[in-house]
Structure 1
């Protein structure tokens, strides 16, 4: 088998690459590694350990309570609660506050209180 050398312009080469990528992107968008979803799913006990690792200590009763009031992201599989690592990470980040922002809010609150008096 002989190697061929093809001379082409930059625009033609970009066109070939664009067409090849465009033909495979829909297939890649549908591709999902089956183990990826399983690795992301957490039981209640695993979710508690995961949350504690993120600095959010909790108990099973607290976790069930948060799920009951829909304050934490979860899914139900039959009668069991299942949590997503990614969604829990995002949720914990939304629950935490930056100390600098807390100081600014406190200072603003004190200033507003002083202005009212």
Structure 2
């Protein structure tokens, strides 16, 4: 075997092993492979990873007022992944609501002006 053939064989083997490793890492990171129940630090990380950053103090405030879905296990707070994401999505406000309100106001004004 020539040095070039050996190099090609090794490159193929290394690339194949790397692809398998990356596929296994992606599989392990998929949400269905993660537990449904989370503690407070995991819940904070989970929301931040999904675009809803929330501070620890805000979490405590929301749990004490019952505004965020949670359970207690002994003295620990436990959060359900699905419920938490659904709650966060329901709390998100649309960014263009002010724009829609302005368009509606202009349209009303135009209709009123035409009726004069």
- Does residue 64 of structure 1 match 2:81? no
Quick one: distance in 1 between partners of 2:40 and 2:102? 36
CA–CA separation in structure 1 for the residues paired with 2:84 and 2:102: 28
Report the TM-score, using the length of structure 2 for normalisation: 0.56
Q: CA 1:106/1:85 → structure 2, altered by over 3 Å: closer, same or farther?
A: farther
Gaps of 5+ in 1: 1-35
Matching residue of 2:92: 96
Q: TM-score, normalised by structure 1?
A: 0.55
Matched residues in 1 for 2:57 and 2:68: separation?
13
Structure 2: tracts of 5 or more residues without a match = 1-31
Match for residue 41 of structure 1 among 33, 37, 43: 37
TM-fit CA distance, 1:76: 0.8
Q: Report the Cα distance in structure 1 between the residues aligned to 2:102 and 2:64, rounded to whole angstroms.
A: 32
CA RMSD, aligned part only? 2.7
